[in-house]
Structure 1
Amino acid sequence: MKIFNQLHELQNQGVITPETALDISNYYKSKNKESSSRLTVIYSVIGSILIGLGLILLFAHNWDEMSKIAKTIVAIAPLAITQISGGYFIYKKPDNLAAREGIGSLLFICIGLSISMVSQIYNIVGSLDSFMQIWLFLTLPLLLIFRSSMVAFLATIISTSYVILDGDVLSIIIYMVTLVLILTHFRFLNKKEPNSNYINLASWIIPSALSIGLCAFEQSNDELLFLSYFWLFTLFIWIGNSKSWKDKSNVRNGLKLIGSLGILVMLTMISFHEVADEFITYKMDFGQEWVSLFLISIPLLLVIILKKGLFSELKKDQLSMAFIPVTFVFFFSQSEIISAIIVNALILIIGIQKVLLGLRNNRLGQLNIGLLIISILVSCRFFDYQMDLLLRGIVFLALGLGFLLSNLKIIKTRKNENQ
């Protein structure tokens, strides 16, 4: 590496001592090993998935010419070979991450492949949701045996698809059990390797799956489901602001970003009079939506109780506290006008707060997000009220000038600080 040549040059010139040069050299060597190990895991997973897909295509090409016994052997053989390979690595090399991830992923695919092929060979009638149910039952132990994050991601995708397709009580229970196992896996991984790429990827995949899976609770009361989503996105933000997540960038903190975007979209929706009217006129029917509210309220309460210093962090972000006025509007407001005023005022406060924080901290991203929120709010109100074109033009000019002047101010401040 070029850095090692520079170390020799710096050592010869007397800029650094031989001990310092050795420490720097060891540091970069360890970094190279970590990078190499990460690439090995990625390639092993990709290779396993490609092998699984290749087997499917290979068998499909010669399928009609095979006898029933040959087809059965072909259906079971890849599963048996993968299980034997997995057992060998678990027994001999249990700490080999690349083997665990690669074989675990391949075994997950082979189980689904074997189930579908055996069903086709012996004409076993079944639906897609029943196939996914059996697949999940057989593959969940892999998560405990291989401790594989890729298996956890695949199980998340299959379980979410299953609960959306089926939607009955049994599918919801299986979905919840699967999520508990997956979350437990990533909780332990987060304690052991908080900066792992798997943790960063999980912060995007799991909240997305939860957001999609919550639709399975929809029965007769869309308004309660709407409130469930609002509380769920609030929970994402609270976890994203917790001690182990708050210092991560937005790219590495999918929880906070998904929660923030979700709340902003929902606030924008109920800022319209028509939607606000539907939002506050609902029937108090006990159904699966109440179950979803109850299930989401438990972790919300636990976060409040366990995270003592959380509220000092949350007070800096009005999005995380938006559920309070929204819940009040949902249960107590009987006027669509009052509801719309509260929601619009809340969006405006959030936008202004982002702008002020951006100006105070010299952060262009935060400033522009605040200005964008205000711009979206103003644009949405154009659809509610018949405004004159001249007034609309003036408003947009003011917003454009606000964007330019505030950004120029921060850029100028940064230049002065660097000088």
Structure 2
Amino acid sequence: MANPIINELPELLKANIISEETAEKIRLHYSQKNNENQNKIPLVFGILGAILIGLGIILVFAHNWDDLSRLTKTILSFLPLILGQLFCGYTLLKKPDHPAWRESSSVFLFFAVGASISLIAQVYNIPGDINSFIITWMLLSLPLVYLLKSSVVSLLYISGITYYACNANYFTFPRDQSYLYWFLLLGIVPHYRNLLKNKIQSNFTLFHNWFVALSIVICLGTFAHKNENLIYLGYMSLFAVFYFNGKTEFFDNQKLKYNSFLIFGKLGTLSVLLVYTFKSFWEMFYRNKYALNEIIFAPEFLVALTLTILAGILFYRKNSNTNFRNINIIEIVFLVNILLLFTGNFASVLANILVLLIGISEIKRGNKHNDLRILNFGLLIITILIACRFFDTNLSFILRGILFITIGFGFFLTNYFMLKKRNRNEK
């Protein structure tokens, strides 16, 4: 279907609104864009086809598995692996520049590796657990990311090691307390860095931004052990690192959907801060008496301290050029994070004040930039804070209802006056 902008070019040329050179650049831009969209179709279907074929082969084997001899089972166990290697070999030799071939063949081999390992283990009763199986599978599949430049396998690898970290540290008892995830994550860093450098607008880069950020957020809790309450300090500092990373020139110039670090950083900081506003959290926190030497050498505190130092460096880099004149309140939350340990009952009061100030600053920023999204975000922060306080107070339902009605009118009036101001400026 023809692009309406392309259809308007002759009329714009005739009216001397644009030059012929500009018109040609517009045609070239949309031509390249259409080609990219057309190339995505075989890529998506190729990946889906590889996944379905791999799962189909496994289901066929499973249906007749008990009736087969050990030799037949062994041959069939290696068959998906052999087929996957043949497909990948053909891709490397004949189709190295075709993303659909690279991604589909590598995805097929990725699942073939997992299937072959599990089938051989079942045939010969090789002992092992799910954690060792996933580690072996991920390590054997990691070379596919670089040999075939497969971003889909990279995403599957991130998902696999994240599940391993969760299973080893969260889902099993007693806990494995394994830090291997962090070393496994390093295996994907060169590929991710290459995507950021050469394919910043790619959908694969978009997914990697979100997968990497989410995976780190999920797995930071693996450091929690005997002093697990201290991990909240680590999360606050991690979100600060994410926030400042998202505020760097590289990410700040991208569309918001590509800036997962800024979104995680901002929402994560507010989420932890809202948890801090509850008195019950600090009662639980101080229930365990921590000796100073126990805190200092606890892995949770060491992680929090490391992340705080890193956040401090990023904070300085962001604000040193402006002589620290444009500091947002949310940027200094991590600085008072560790100090909250020593403020006792005042910690929840300080957290409430910080959340309120952040909400007010967002409202002011939205009003300044005439942006309803930012303004409503500030109002939403204050609304959530007030809602949270209902769980800490004994207000009657009538007073709570009146408060919510007041907030609702506040939303309505603020948006009304903002739209009125925008319409007045447009005239």
Q: Is the 8 A contact 2:319 2:326 kept in 1?
A: no
User: Which of 195, 199, 202 is residue 205 of structure 2 equivalent to?
Assistant: 199
SS of 2:249's equivalent in the other structure is: coil
RMSD: 2.7
> What does residue 2 of structure 2 align with?
2
> How big is the shift at 1:304?
4.8
User: Which of 239, 257, 274 is residue 251 of structure 1 equivalent to?
Assistant: 257
Distance 1:177 1:315, change over 3 A: farther
Amino acid paired to 1:187: R
Amino acid paired to 1:258: F
Q: Is the 8 A contact 1:241 1:313 kept in 2?
A: no
- What CA distance in whole angstroms lies between the structure 1 residues aligned with 2:61 and 2:325? 55
SS of 2:257's equivalent in the other structure is: coil
More off after superposition, 223-232 vs 291-300: 291-300
User: Which of 379, 396, 407 is residue 399 of structure 1 equivalent to?
Assistant: 407
**1:237-264: CA deviation from partner (whole Å, max 9, x where unpaired):** 1111111111334333222222222222
> What does residue 54 of structure 1 align with?
56
- What CA distance in whole angstroms lies between the structure 2 residues aligned with 1:102 and 1:392? 56
Distance 1:312 1:379, change over 3 A: farther
**1:105-160: CA deviation from partner (whole Å, max 9, x where unpaired):** 22111111110011111111211111112112211222222222211111111111
Q: Is the 8 A contact 1:235 1:300 kept in 2?
A: yes
User: Which of 358, 372, 382 is residue 374 of structure 1 equivalent to?
Assistant: 382
SS of 1:186's equivalent in the other structure is: helix
- What CA distance in whole angstroms lies between the structure 2 residues aligned with 1:138 and 1:374? 49
Q: Is the 8 A contact 1:221 1:282 kept in 2?
A: no
> What does residue 272 of structure 2 align with?
266
Distance 1:247 1:97, change over 3 A: same
> How big is the shift at 1:23?
3.8
> How big is the shift at 1:276?
2.1
| Aligned: 1:326 with 2:328 | no
- 1:244-393 mapped onto 2 (5 Å cutoff): 244-280=250-286, 282-283=289-290, 284=292, 285=294, 286-293=297-304, 296-297=307-308, 299-300=310-311, 303-304=314-315, 315-330=326-341, 332-333=342-343, 335-336=344-345, 338-393=346-401
> What does residue 146 of structure 2 align with?
144
User: Which of 105, 130, 133 is residue 131 of structure 1 equivalent to?
Assistant: 133
Q: Is the 8 A contact 1:234 1:259 kept in 2?
A: yes
More off after superposition, 163-172 vs 373-382: 163-172
> What does residue 165 of structure 2 align with?
163
- What CA distance in whole angstroms lies between the structure 1 residues aligned with 2:326 and 2:149? 37
Instruction: Calculate the TM-score normalised by the size of structure 2.
Output: 0.88
**1:68-95: CA deviation from partner (whole Å, max 9, x where unpaired):** 1111111111111211221232244433
| Aligned: 1:29 with 2:35 | no
- What CA distance in whole angstroms lies between the structure 2 residues aligned with 1:218 and 1:53? 37
> What does residue 242 of structure 1 align with?
248
Distance 1:306 1:75, change over 3 A: farther
| Aligned: 1:186 with 2:197 | no
% identity of equivalent residues: 34
- What CA distance in whole angstroms lies between the structure 2 residues aligned with 1:314 and 1:106? 54
Amino acid paired to 1:288: P
**1:190-222: CA deviation from partner (whole Å, max 9, x where unpaired):** 111111111211222111111111222221112
> How big is the shift at 1:29?
1.5
Q: Is the 8 A contact 1:270 1:279 kept in 2?
A: no
| Aligned: 1:409 with 2:417 | yes
Distance 1:292 1:106, change over 3 A: farther
More off after superposition, 250-259 vs 233-242: 250-259
> How big is the shift at 1:371?
0.7
Where does structure 2 lack aligned partners over 5 or more consecutive residues? 170-174
- What CA distance in whole angstroms lies between the structure 2 residues aligned with 1:359 and 1:267? 24
- What CA distance in whole angstroms lies between the structure 2 residues aligned with 1:111 and 1:290? 39
> How big is the shift at 1:282?
4.9
More off after superposition, 141-150 vs 13-22: 13-22
Amino acid paired to 1:117: L
Amino acid paired to 2:340: V
The number of equivalent residue pairs is 415
> What does residue 99 of structure 1 align with?
101
Instruction: Calculate the TM-score normalised by the size of structure 1.
Output: 0.90
> How big is the shift at 1:317?
3.5
> What does residue 230 of structure 2 align with?
224
Amino acid paired to 1:219: H
Amino acid paired to 1:254: S
